[in-house]
Structure 1
Amino acid sequence: MGLKDDLDRFREVGEQRREDLAEFIQYGELGASGRDDVRIPIKIVDLPAFEYDKLDQGGVGQGEGAQPGDPVGQPQPQPGDGDEEGDPGEEGGEHEYYEMDPEEFAEELDEELGLDLDPKGKRVIEEKEGPYTDITRSGPNSTLDFERMFKEGLKRKMAMDFDEEYLKEVLKVDGVGPQTAFEWARGESIPVSKAWLVDAYSKIPDDEKTTWASLEEVEENVDREPIQAKIQREGIKHVPFRREDERYRHPEIIEEKEKNVVVVNIRDVSGSMREKKRELVERVFTPLDWYLTGKYDNAEFVYIAHDAEAWQVEREEFFGIRSGGGTKISSAYELAQQLLEEYPWSEWNRYVFAAGDSENSSNDTEENVIPLMEAIPANLHAYVETQPTGTAINATHAEEVQSHFGDSENVAVAYVSGPEDVTDAIYDILSTEGGDDE
């Protein structure tokens, strides 16, 4: 095994030693990743290096001035390594990451947290012919369902057929003519016509018309052959088809639907939302964005910041903004309702995620926010309370929302007081979504 094989092996070990997904979400560096590229740091694995004898016994090839324990072949300073001799270089060192796309992230998060979100298709992008499952009474001959027609004809044949030889023996009973035999056959549910009996009786020689003394004697001495056995013995010579047996196959029309999602992320940026609270919002919202990007064919994101007023921002600004204003959460939902008009509920899955420290202006939650949440159709509404030091006296928004909606299948409330609560909050949110109530 050569040096290259050793290095490849160490890289493989490094990937296996990347941070656990839950640990990464709770404590890792999220900022190194983009929305479509999740980068998880690899725990450092030192590559092996030859070192001088630490027992100070010298050794072959030890250069002048080398100290025991120094790595062999330590690189010498090169021009450009520093601005001047002894100055540190300006370029940062490279860090190793395990990179995954949002699809892989979503798969791993499903496995890690026991989730299984099944994205719903909304917008019809194509209609195509599926299996020939629809049946009609008319159509081109090429689509005639012959198998079905044959089965119908075969059922009719089995219902209409009878053991002719047995009936001929019945006609040989002394004193039994076509009329008596016909009445007996009707009682036995044998589908024979009187005309057939008359014709069969006329062909029996006179000396055989007294072969049997009674019908009971025929039953005791002559075996009646079941219709199935007769068909197996003789084969199917004729199947009585009728016009009403004809059915024509038509293809089922299948709608191909694109799985579209729009995610509205709302964040309180008022003066009470200090750094630790903002960081907890980022730790919850960022993995949710990655997860939904990985689950849906087409994912779009809307970011709304609010204090007493709300405004739309870019993702890059969303987690860092802080203002000194008050708080009116309903302003964000009013803006969200306007922006979602571009994403019709009939064509888009919708998620509305809001986060803050649960502080809100007086009566705003009950009088404005809750009615707006009920008025905005969405797969899921969620509110995440971030209170690192415990709930403040006037931080009641999350409790009011939870109390009003109870165990609703499209409203989730999560409480995060530290990084250790983040994965539980993500699970609470994503496991709440119920059916698609359009």
Structure 2
Amino acid sequence: MGLPEDRERFRAVGESRREDLTEFISHGDLGGSGPHQVRIPIKIVDLPSFEYDQREVGGVGQAEGGQPQPGQPVNPQPDEGDEAGDPGEEGGDHEYYEMDPEEFAEELDEELGLDLEPKGKRVVEEVEGAFTDTARAGPKGSLDVDELFKRGLKRHLATDFDEDYVREGLFVDGAGVDEVFTWARESHIPVSRAWIADAAGEIETERGEPIESVARWPDFETLEADVDRESVGERIRREGLDTIPFRREDERFRHPEVIEQHERNVVVVNIRDASGSMRETKRELVERVFTPIDWYLTGKYDAAEFHYVVHDAEAWEVDREEFFGIQSGGGTRISSAYERVEEILESYPFSEWNRYVFAAGDSENAGADTQQNVIPLMRSIDANLHGYVETQPGGKTKNARHADEVEQALGDAGNVAVARVTGPEDVTDAIYEILSTEESDE
């Protein structure tokens, strides 16, 4: 086994020792990753290597000062206090297992048993498919000969009839052209009155006497009982088919099917309570839930855009770097954030964009704001999924009612998920609760 194989073997060993994905989400350092690259720390085994001594030395096998004398050490010993080799000064080397959001989403699906299927929304391109569509006009080279033949044959079969059988109707006692035409129509024979009149004229010419004076049958019922009517199919099988009369309206020209390709795109609005009650521990739990969901949706969709809104009694939009760290001393009015969400989503029509609205906080809200404002706003904002994450380390406080009220009012809506996180051990369960709700949405 050569050095390249050894290196790959050491690398495989290192990757197998990376932090478990759920453990990384719950307890790992999420800050080392970016929006498009997830970096999971691993302990890498030092890879063996050879190095040349760059110092100017004597010939091969010679130490400083020339050839060593018997009993003299070959390698000079470091002086007392030499810093080289002092033990315990550095920790073990760490590297990172790096994955893009697509790989992260795939692995999270496996870890949590998820299988979210993104929906295509906005049409980004129209492409030509197979020549399966037809039109009445087109280049001669695209004429659909099969379709032309089928249409001509269909008309021929629909308009053909047993001419000898109809002529016999002219030999019914007292029957003229009008009577024969009425009888033919009642018998579902597709013959025109003009054809019957022409046939009557031919018979009169041959006989030299009016058609009414020639009689073979006392009535039409006797004719039908004594004369067999031959079907079109029987006659074609017997005589074959010499020609099929085609018409211009039978022509159909083949065109490629126009296929609309839809981009699987998503806009995500993340909301966080920044009021004075949201201490560092609560903010960290929000980050541990929202960050993996952002990675997951980035990996699932072709295009993903994110907006971040924080609020106390008022709401304002921030960038991602500020989102998890901001804290204010103000009160809490959650509806202010949803009012801001409405403004943001005006630029993302629901007919063209998948839309997710995720909010998090400690479930404390001012007065009746949840019932009177937030719940109506959630109902009016079209979204694939509304999620709320309650972060209450150590248990719920008396004023933490928002999650319960949302769940009670909208729990059966089909696109609303409520999750509760009291510590890092609840994070992956909360992520599953939110994303599995979208999975079952129709």
In the alignment, the residues of structure 1 paired with residue 43 and residue 277 of structure 2 have an alpha-carbon distance, to the nearest angstrom, of 36
2:63 paired residue number:
none
1:380 paired residue number:
385
In the alignment, the residues of structure 1 paired with residue 354 and residue 302 of structure 2 have an alpha-carbon distance, to the nearest angstrom, of 11
Matched, 1:93 2:93: yes
CA deviation profile, 1:328-375 (whole Å, cap 9, x unmatched): 212222233333344444543322111011111111111222233233
Q: Which moved more, 1:384-393 or 1:19-28?
A: 19-28
8 Å Cα contact 1:117/1:430 also seen in 2: no
1:309 paired residue number:
314
8 Å Cα contact 1:109/1:115 also seen in 2: no
Cα drift, residue 233 of structure 1: 8.2
Q: Which moved more, 1:249-258 or 1:3-12?
A: 249-258
The residue type paired with residue 406 of structure 1 is G
In the alignment, the residues of structure 1 paired with residue 329 and residue 353 of structure 2 have an alpha-carbon distance, to the nearest angstrom, of 35
8 Å Cα contact 2:118/2:301 also seen in 1: no
The residue type paired with residue 304 of structure 2 is A
2:101 paired residue number:
102
In the alignment, the residues of structure 2 paired with residue 153 and residue 3 of structure 1 have an alpha-carbon distance, to the nearest angstrom, of 76
Cα drift, residue 319 of structure 1: 1.8
Matched, 1:369 2:368: no
Alignment of 1:220-299 (within 5 A): 236-299=241-304
8 Å Cα contact 1:19/1:41 also seen in 2: yes
The residue type paired with residue 40 of structure 1 is I
In the alignment, the residues of structure 1 paired with residue 258 and residue 7 of structure 2 have an alpha-carbon distance, to the nearest angstrom, of 55
What do you get for the CA RMSD once the two structures are aligned? 4.7
Cα drift, residue 3 of structure 1: 4.2
Cα drift, residue 28 of structure 1: 3.0
1:210 paired residue number:
none
Matched, 1:389 2:388: no
2:40 paired residue number:
40
1:402 paired residue number:
407
In the alignment, the residues of structure 2 paired with residue 372 and residue 252 of structure 1 have an alpha-carbon distance, to the nearest angstrom, of 42
Call closer, same or farther: CA 1:394–1:160 in 2, change over 3 Å: same
8 Å Cα contact 2:18/2:42 also seen in 1: yes
Cα drift, residue 395 of structure 1: 0.5
CA deviation profile, 1:123-151 (whole Å, cap 9, x unmatched): x4334444445544445544443322211
1:114 paired residue number:
114
Cα drift, residue 266 of structure 1: 1.1
2:12 paired residue number:
12
The residue type paired with residue 4 of structure 1 is P
In the alignment, the residues of structure 2 paired with residue 85 and residue 16 of structure 1 have an alpha-carbon distance, to the nearest angstrom, of 30
The residue type paired with residue 354 of structure 1 is A
TM-score computed with the length of structure 2 as normaliser: 0.69
8 Å Cα contact 1:411/1:432 also seen in 2: yes
2:338 paired residue number:
333
In the alignment, the residues of structure 2 paired with residue 310 and residue 436 of structure 1 have an alpha-carbon distance, to the nearest angstrom, of 29
8 Å Cα contact 1:115/1:427 also seen in 2: no
8 Å Cα contact 2:370/2:402 also seen in 1: yes
In the alignment, the residues of structure 2 paired with residue 349 and residue 323 of structure 1 have an alpha-carbon distance, to the nearest angstrom, of 32
Matched, 1:420 2:425: yes
Call closer, same or farther: CA 1:418–1:143 in 2, change over 3 Å: same
Q: How many residues align?
A: 392
Cα drift, residue 34 of structure 1: 1.0
8 Å Cα contact 1:260/1:298 also seen in 2: yes
**Counterpart secondary structure, 2:272:** strand
The residue type paired with residue 24 of structure 2 is F
Call closer, same or farther: CA 1:92–1:264 in 2, change over 3 Å: farther
**Counterpart secondary structure, 2:437:** coil
**Counterpart secondary structure, 2:419:** strand
Of all paired residues, the percent bearing the same amino acid is: 63
8 Å Cα contact 1:385/1:414 also seen in 2: yes
**Counterpart secondary structure, 1:433:** helix
Cα drift, residue 323 of structure 1: 3.3
Instruction: Structure 2: state its 5+ residue gaps.
Output: 49-75, 169-176, 204-223
In the alignment, the residues of structure 2 paired with residue 253 and residue 433 of structure 1 have an alpha-carbon distance, to the nearest angstrom, of 31
8 Å Cα contact 1:26/1:419 also seen in 2: yes
In the alignment, the residues of structure 2 paired with residue 424 and residue 116 of structure 1 have an alpha-carbon distance, to the nearest angstrom, of 16
CA deviation profile, 1:42-98 (whole Å, cap 9, x unmatched): 4666889xxxxxxxxxxxxxxxxxxxxxxxxxxx999xxx9888497689833242x
8 Å Cα contact 1:163/1:225 also seen in 2: yes
The residue type paired with residue 99 of structure 2 is M
Q: Which moved more, 1:296-305 or 1:185-194?
A: 185-194
In the alignment, the residues of structure 1 paired with residue 268 and residue 343 of structure 2 have an alpha-carbon distance, to the nearest angstrom, of 14
TM-score computed with the length of structure 1 as normaliser: 0.70
The residue type paired with residue 401 of structure 1 is V
